[in-house]
Chain A
Amino acid sequence: MKVLVAVKRVVDYNVKVRVKADNSGVDLANVKMSMNPFCEIAVEEAVRLKEKGVASEIVVVSIGPATAQEQLRTALALGADRAILVESNDELNSLAVAKLLKAVVDKEQPQLVIMGKQAIDSDNNQTGQMLGALTGFGQGTFASKVEVSGDKVNVTREIDGGLQTVALNLPAIVTTDLRLNEPRYASLPNIMKAKKKPLETVTPDALGVSTASTVKTLKVEAPAARSAGIKVKSVAELVEKLKNEAKVI
């Protein structure tokens, strides 16, 4: 079974981003970039499926600038077999990304597509579901457990009140939640080997996909700051403040 994994290059999750003075966006100059944490979980899940003998080939795809090759090489070092970069310097919306992924799915014909549930930059949580609509595949979003058996995949999903399990016909799309697995680190020999694995670059034009957007960002501002309050010395003082000052208990 062929597995397609989509990964995104985003600002590292430890970086506290700052809004640009002209309110045009956030300042990403000289900021550490990494693979989106949920995408790392997606790569790990694919590698585990391959280790179990369920997956035969793992193709990893990223849509972004040329520098996203770094994240693709990381995925190759973790165990993906080959990589595809759909190179675009535009800031693409989820629908455009889903359309590009649909074109890659059409070409690669994977049985399972695994991707992160959301990217920690745009916080959209849309692309997997949109790809589901465009391909007509079933979707198992926010997955905490994935079990492939025959022509179906059972996905246990993190939902508001607990867990839900659905059975999807293959091909299907899975988006990862944080408890699905704990991603491994790439070993040095695997990092070296990954440099020799194939990495193909294509453009949105070559895939015949228009990436036009109907959403325009007018401005980006820092959130209203919350100022630190006071330190209380004892539980008794805390209770007194909550009762008489804040009046919340």
Chain B
Amino acid sequence: MTILVIAEHTNAALAAATLNTVAAAQKIGGDIHVLVAGANAGAAAEAAAKIAGVAKVLVADNAAYANQLPENVAPLVAELGKSYSHILAAATSNGKNILPRVAAALDVDQISEIIAVESADTFKRPIYAGNAIATVQSSAAIKVITVRSTGFDAAAAEGGSAAVEAVSGPADAGKSAFVGEELAKSDRPELTAAKIVVSGGRGMGNGDNFKHLYALADKLGAAVGASRAAVDAGFVPNDMQVGQTGKIVAPQLYIAVGISGAIQHLAGMKDSKVIVAINKDEEAPIFQVADYGLVADLFEAVPELEKSV
């Protein structure tokens, strides 16, 4: 049994989610190979080779793979993946974009967002916004799986010394082109990797009021998230959304401010170690999952909290 893990990376660096995906592969068992598909991705490949437990790193370096266009990367993964028992990718926006295209090209079902490995063919995954956990068994010849990072503790980033091997794959399929991207610039930690997350909801009132959360987050070294209600209301961009259709986080400390606690939001944060809720409505459902609830006006409580941490 050999497992192919698709690296999540920016060419220049390996993303942390790759370590969680390798950890899931270790639970399945067998040799682990990591594919780094990109352009000038030598640095990402070197980092992948150092991950503890990785036997081999495959590097497909081609301008066509630079921006992870699925029309170009999926055929490469499908071709290489034929000789593996499992193909795993992180359930990031990139992994979700590419892997189903790989699965269909191989004519196999995909299992999305696993949170636990029961055996080499049996996995647990949340359905209905996390209101139910399904245990599913796959009889597919190649098991194609995306991995929810919060379900698996990261593999050690150092300690391995895998061989790095260059591979080639199909050229540009000519169906799509990268036009550009606008990435949020922030000195704060990335939402899904942060130890502390401070999130705001509809109760924030407007986007400008998020400054209170940014100030608190900067004091705590935290990332800032938001509920879907806050995104829908236009307070903040969608890449800050925590929930069923946004990002899934499980930090040491999650501080929910002015968030009522819709099931769709809880789906994205209820595995946090400690949850704090600050809301002036003492009936808000968020208090049913909070370890520490504070019924207060957030515009008084958040600045006071910022001053006292």
Per-residue CB contact flags for chain B residues 50-73 toward chain A (1 = under 8 Å, else 0) read 000000000000000001011100
Stretch among A43-51, A67-75, A152-160, A197-205 lining the B interface? A152-160
For residue A235, CB closer than 8 A to chain B, the reply is yes
B293 in contact with A132 (CB, 8 Å): no
Residues in chain A near residue B253, CB distance under 8 A: 242, 246, 248-249
Is B231's beta carbon under 8 Å from chain A? yes
Return chain A residues, CB-CB under 8 Å to B137: 215-216, 218
Residues of B within 8 A of A235 (CB): 294, 296, 301, 304-305, 308
Residue A244 interfacial (CB < 8 Å): no
Query: Out of A125, A218, A229, A232, which one reaches B112, CB within 8 Å?
Result: A125
Known: A130-B101, A213-B109. A138 touches B175 (CB 8 A): yes
A142 CA to B95 CA, complexed, in Å? 13
> Which single member of A98, A122, A164, A234 contacts B104 (CB below 8 Å)?
A98
Is B80 an interface position by the 8 A CB rule? Answer: no
Which chain A residues lie closer than 8 Å to B231 at the CB level?
178-179
Inside 8 A of B176's CB, which chain A residues have their CB? 138-139, 166-169
Verify if B292 is at the interface (C-beta below 8 Å from A): yes
Contacts A228-B290, A229-B291 known; A214 to B140 CB distance under 8 Å?
yes
Is A239 an interface residue, CB under 8 A from the partner? yes
Q: Which of B25-33, B178-186, B200-208 contacts A (4 or more CB under 8 A)?
A: B178-186
Residues of A within 8 A of B301 (CB): 235
- A166 with B178: in contact, given A123-B127, A228-B287, A231-B295 (CB under 8 Å)? yes
Residues of the B chain whose Cβ atoms lie less than 8 Å from the Cβ of A38: 245
Which of B150-158, B160-168, B269-277 lies at the interface with chain A?
A: B269-277
Whole-angstrom distance between the alpha carbons of A232 and B128 in the complex? 32
Q: Does A62 contact B (CB under 8 A)?
A: no
Asked if A26 contacts B132 (CB within 8 A), the reply is yes
Interface check B189, CB cutoff 8 A: no
B178 smallest CB distance to A (angstroms)? 6
Complex interface residues of chain B between 185 and 244 (CB less than 8 A to chain A): 192, 196, 220, 228, 231-232, 237-239, 244
Q: Is A242 a contact of B274 with CB atoms below 8 Å?
A: yes
CA distance A17 to B43 in the complex (A): 46
Q: Are B101 and A214 in contact (CB under 8 A)?
A: no
What CA separation (Å) do A215 and B141 show in the bound complex?
A: 11
Q: Which residue of B lies closest to A212 (CB)?
A: B109
Task: Point out the residues of chain B lying under 8 angstroms from A221, CB to CB.
Answer: 132-133, 135
Minimum CB–CB distance from B64 to chain A (whole Å) comes to 13
CB distance from B265 to the nearest CB of A (A): 12
Tell which of B103, B126, B182 touches A163, judged by Cβ atoms closer than 8 Å.
B182
Instruction: Assess the B136–A223 pair: CB atoms within 8 A.
Output: no
A111 close to B (CB within 8 Å): no
Closest to A177 in B: B238
The complex places the Cα of A88 from the Cα of B142 at a distance, in Å, of 27
A70 to B282, alpha carbons, bound, how many Å? 39
Bound Cα distance A230, B71 (Å): 51
Instruction: Tell me if B2 counts as interface (CB < 8 A to partner A).
Output: no
- Determine the chain A residues whose CB is within 8 A of the CB of B132 once the complex forms: 17, 19, 26, 220-223
- A120 and B262 CA atoms in complex are apart in Å by 14
Smallest CB gap from A133: residue in B: B104
Mind listing 30 A-B residue pairs with CB under 8 Å?
Answer: A17-B131, A19-B131, A26-B128, A95-B103, A98-B104, A117-B245, A120-B129, A122-B127, A123-B128, A125-B96, A132-B70, A158-B93, A159-B93, A160-B94, A160-B192, A161-B184, A162-B181, A167-B177, A169-B174, A215-B109, A217-B134, A220-B134, A222-B132, A226-B275, A229-B275, A232-B293, A242-B309, A248-B273, A248-B274, A249-B253
Question: Which residues of chain B have a CB within 8 Å of any CB of chain A?
Answer: 67, 69-71, 74, 92-94, 96-105, 107-113, 122, 126-140, 174-184, 192, 196, 220, 228, 231-232, 237-239, 244-245, 247, 252-253, 263-264, 270, 273-276, 282, 287-296, 301, 304-305, 308-309
The 10 closest A-B pairs by CB, nearest first: A229-B291, A129-B100, A130-B104, A133-B104, A126-B100, A214-B140, A138-B175, A165-B179, A248-B253, A162-B183
Which residues of A pack against B, CB within 8 Å?
Answer: 11, 13, 16-19, 26, 38, 93-95, 98, 117-118, 120-134, 136-139, 141-142, 144, 154, 157-169, 177-179, 213-223, 226, 228-232, 234-236, 238-239, 241-242, 246, 248-249
